[in-house]
Every structure is written in C-alpha cells, then in structure tokens.
Structure 1
Amino acid sequence: MFASQLTRKIRTFTRSLTSTCRHSNIRRFSTMETSGEVITCKAAVARGPGEPLVVEEIKVDPPKKMEVRMKVLYSSICHTDIDIWKGTNEAQRAFPRILGHEAAGIIESVGEGVTDLKKGDHVIPIFNGECGNCVYCKSEKTNLCETLRVNPMKSVMVNDGKCRFSTMDGKPIYHFLNTSTFTEYTVIDAGCAAKIDPDASLKKMSLLSCCISTGVGAAWNCANVQAGSTVAIFGLGALGLAVAEGSRVRGASTIIGVDINSEKFIKDFINPKDLGTPVHEKIREMTGGGVDYSFECAGNVDVLRESFLSTHDGWGSTVLLGIHPNPRMLPLHPMELFDGRKIIGTVFGDFKGKSQLPHLAQQCINGVLNLDEFITHELPFEKINEAFQLLLDGKSLRCVLKF
C-alpha cells in the first residue's frame, strides 16, 4: 500500500470556521451571517470533456426548501469524477459542471423545513441520499431512495429542477451526483447530508462519502463476509482496498488481491500479467476450489467473469462494485448460475447513508477501521488538476484537497 507522502497535520476547527471565500463582499463564516444571501467563492469548474478544471469565482445561491448549504473543508477525487469529466458517455455531458462527491465540511445554513441539521453541524455529503419518507427509505431491503438515489445523469436540484451554482455573469453551472464538492460552498438536499461527531477528523471522514463506505459495506452488508472465510478482490484501488479492510475486520483468513499494477499489493497478490493461465484457475489452486467471496472493483466485464469463476461452486458469491460504462453485457452463460455461485451488485455498500453512516463514522473514530493509509497525497484545492493527474497515472489512492 502506498505510504503517505505529506504530513498529516489537520486544519483546526477554529481555522475552518474563520476561513473566507476570496471575494471582498463575502463575510467570515464564524462571525458574520450569510444565511439567505448569495455567496461568492472559488470552485473548480469542468468546462468541457477532458479539459483542465478551471478554478474560478462562482455564485452559490441560498438553500431552498429541504436543502442545506455546506462549507466544504476537504474533498478527494474518485475515478467516477474522472469518468464523468472525460465525457465518454454522451448522456453525461452536462457542462459547465462542478464535479466531486467525496468530501466533509460544515453546514453554513439550512433551508425551509430542515429540522435535523443546523448551522455548524459537521457533515458528510452522500451521493446516494435518503429522504426517509419514500417506500424505498422505509424498506429494510434496500438503501436506495425514490428521489435522492445516485444518478450521474442528474445535473439540477430535485426541488425545482434548477441549479444553485452560476457564473459571475449569471449563467448556470450544473450539479453532479447530488453533491458537487469541488467548490468552497455547495448546496445539497438535506437527505444527502449525514451528520457526524464533531470530534471526528473531517479529512479522514471525507473518504466515507464514497470509497470506504462502498468497499467496507460490500464486505459487511452485501457479502456478509464471515470469520475464517476466503476473499479475492479484483482491482486494488481505494475501493478494492476498502473491501480488503472490511474483510480484515470481519476476520477473513485469506485475502487475495488481483491487479495489473504490482505496486498495489497486499500479502497474497496476483498480477495477471505474470500468469500463463487464467486468474480464476490460479485462485482455485490456491484456495482448494475457489474463494467464498469475490469482489469486482475494476469496472471490466472480462475481469468480472474471472472474479465470478474464482469463487467456489456451491456457495461462492461475487459482488459487483466497479462502474461499467462500456455497453458490453455480462459475459456469463445462464447455466453457470446453476453451480450455486451468485452474483450481485451494490450501491454505496448497501448503507443507508443518512441514518447508518454516522455509526460507521463512529467505528472509524474508535479505530475499528484504519483510514490513514488510504490518503496518499494532500494538496491545496487550487492544485486540483495535479490531483486528477495523480489518479490518472495510478500514483495515488486518495489525494485529499484542502480548502
């Protein structure tokens, strides 16, 4: 696993509250009232597919009914941000846009009807929201929400179908994944903000917005990894390593990592490039017939097939976590499911974000999960394009941006 390349010193709470936007008419958050006002601040705006992000001044409207405005203190970069930034899918090309969905910060103001959050609360924005009132939210069988579920195509607010961001000359800037965290201030639905313990490190807690929750939840909630079981993880980015951490906590006896980047290693590691046989054959040989659980974190259908075949027949389970933008279908014959193997997908690790994430955050505070090694780099927000390149080059797990 990568070693941290920068110091771990965290900006104190007092400094966070007194930090200001870089515009002369913006008041200090800790001493001046900004509720109900338009705030001018810095944001990294994606102007077009693949173009470098432009750090510029934007306007952020006050939150409307059942919305909150959040001051972002830390945000990191996920491969999903990069996929949308590339604009490989025509339906995703809503530009200009503010990307970002892994973050942590403080509530600046709340809109009408919001009763469970208030100014000063420490929160994690969540892309897979929880309104708490719909048939989905009331069901114990799913963590999806009828209105606030993850939707990369959505680029406006649910309330009125409009943007809360605009350029200095009044042109709209689109939203992303219910969050849009590459900005000093963002507006999100109240159901997309999970309140956490103010004593928690916001820098570390930012990772719970996506990779940690998704990976750990896949092991705990979806697969329900048992003590003494065997696990194979295909793709050892931050998501795959979060699965490994979740499996370790559950007491898995063997955790096999599969990746073509030999720098991303864990104890039992396989690089497919070093093999003369399919990966699933090697894993079956290592484990006496296959692993109990496999996790596909690469977003590649061929890798998915290897992951599926690496599990033990009769009871093996494969969990799909990787994003598959390619239109190719699953490379499985229906009869292969008659051998007792199962395959299932998970969104946000099956966590109900608003109601269950605070407990996961507390477990991190208590040391149940180790988040330190996931943060491999830390840069000032203005260097966001450098952070993008680190992830594109495979040189970072998570690069945290400081505001």
Structure 2
Amino acid sequence: MEEQVQEEMPPAQHTGGHHPVQEGEVFNTRYQALRELGCGAFATVWLCQDMRRKKQVAVKVLKSREGFADTAQDEVTLLRCVNCMKKKDRAGENIISLLDDFRMIGENGFHMCLVFEVLGPSLRCLMGNYTTQGLPLPFVKKSLQQVLTGLYFLHKRCRIIHADIKPENILLYGHDKSLQRLLMDTLDCGQRTHVKLKGAGGDPGNQLEESDLMSIEVKIADLGSACWTYKPFSKEIQTQPYRALEVLLGLDYGTPADIWSTACLAFEMATGECLFDPQPGKYFSRDDDHVARIIELLGRIPPQIAFSWNKSTKFFSRPGALLRFSRLCPRSLPGTLADRHGWTPRAAAAFAAFLLPALHYAPERRASAAQSLRHAWITAP
C-alpha cells in the first residue's frame, strides 16, 4: 500500500523513500537483484546474486531519508565488531554475518546498503503455524539455547545490547542444503504464504516435515536498534510487547533488557500467545496498560524501585499504587500456563522457574544469558 501511495506522489516528494529496485538490477556493479525478501518501514531486503563470488546474498537497502545513513553506519560498526569477535569465539555463530556494505545513488537520493549471508524466514513465520498451542518444546529449548548463546556473545564479548529481541528478528536456517532451499522457498511467508509443516494442522500439500524442525538452526538478526553497553543511542528501544520494565519507566537500561525480551519470546514460542499484549484504553495509554499487566503477573513493584525511575509520577501515586487503574486482576505465571494453556502443574512450574529470574524487576538481579543457559529447564531433554 505504501508503495502505491508513493507512486502517486510528485517526484519531489520521493526524496527519503525506498529505492525502487527492479528485478535484474545490479547494485555496486556486483549484486544482481533476484527477488524481494521483505519490505519494512526503514528498508527493503533483496535476494541477490553476488556475481563476483557466485553465491546468493541478502542486500538490505535503506531509505534515503536524512539520518538513516548515520543509523546504518552505527549498525555497520556494530556488525564489524561482531565479525571481528567471531574469529575468537564460536558463540558468534548465532549472530548474522555482515559480508559487505556500500552506498548507492538512486532517484530518491543516497541509500546505504548492507550485504548479509542468506538465511531463511523468521521465527514469526514459523510460529504462524502453531498459533493455538505454540511450538514443540524441544525446538523451543534448542532455539532459546542458540538465542541466549548469541546474546552471551553480544553482551560479554562485544559489549553490545541488541535492543530488539523478538520473533521477527530471529531467523531460521538449515545446514543441509535441501532444508535451506526449502526454507528459502518460504522466505516471503510474511507477505503471501506460510511455512507449511505436516502435522501442524496444514493441508496435504505441506512441504516441510515436522521431523525437520529439530534440524533448523536460528540466528539473531537486525542490529539496527543495537547499541554499545557504554553508549546507548536512544531512550526508546524494543518493540512494545517485549519491552523491559526499566525501558517503559524511563530508567537507564543495559544488557538485562535483552533478557527480559528473551523471556517474553520464550513464553510466546511455547504458548503461541504474547506474555504481555498491552492495549490503550479510553483513559489510559498502551504504556499504562503494559505496566498494569506486568504488575498483575509479577506482583507489586517495590516503591524503592518504582520511585527511583524517571517516569514514576506518570505511572504511580505516592503509595506505589498505579494511577488510572483502580482494580487489577493478579495472576501467577504457573497458573496462567495451566489454566489458559493446559500445561500440567509440574510442566508449568518448571517453565515458570526458568522465566521468572529473567523477568526480575531489578535489572542487576535479573538472570544473565549465561545463567539462563545453565537453568535446569533449558538443559533438560
């Protein structure tokens, strides 16, 4: 729809928009566009043939709007650090690899372009086939191990906060060429189709066997919102349902914010529903509802924490009670898993024991990536 609107605009109003890529177009005298893989608010991503190295790559073409080049250059700097540290630590294999970057000029201005290894569709695409019950737990555990290993690498080796962990930014891939090709065939699943899995409630034409699921690996992608641990770029980070409490309340944040998001990701993978899905109301904002839902699930925020944060007066009255909410409906995490999602009490308690340390209100007391990786729930078969 956005592209149609742009086509109707006078040429002068194109400045700052997407580059209108044509199939067959060659970028930087090297990368030939084959087909579009995705289109977002800030960039389009194209499957391209690297004519020099005779292999396929993914080229991210950012909008030409002023400021995008600086943001892209920050991302390139972070990704170069990742590439450098990968040579010293295999944990870096769980982060997408930047292969090249360049600038090009088009009818809408200058565009920064980033060249990545080709991976499969996102975890969001895969989850679309398990909306009622979540993904199989063995796959959830395996994928979380890889995400947490990647976060350990970013946090400890690179001193980077990802700042936007969510299903859309976890990409699937297969070491086996036939599996990777099958995943590549479904890369546009977010736009027109879905990854089809036999046994997942799909039709007989499904292509991907459910037994292939445990052969799928994942990598963390999109460092477009990432920053250094010692130099945050923005106060507003993370996509709303995965946003850590300290970010909601305006406190300085660090690597624990990624762990909060990972706990939200884990719950969604395992159940098919967001842990927190805040909505605005007539008398309260989406942020208000988000804080209320967090308190309902995790309990009262200690006053010494609530009032140490910059936006405390926006959310709390002096005794520590929420403004704009006279009544909350407390619920426990194990109870939610058992009552709403049909988990056995034992399974619910074990999963909650993994999630709760990653959702601690005090960031400095929140479980780290390394501690989460050692937890009994994730290491159990």
TM-score for both structures, normalised by structure 2: 0.30
TM-score for both structures, normalised by structure 1: 0.28
Bigger strand share: 1
Bigger helix share: 2
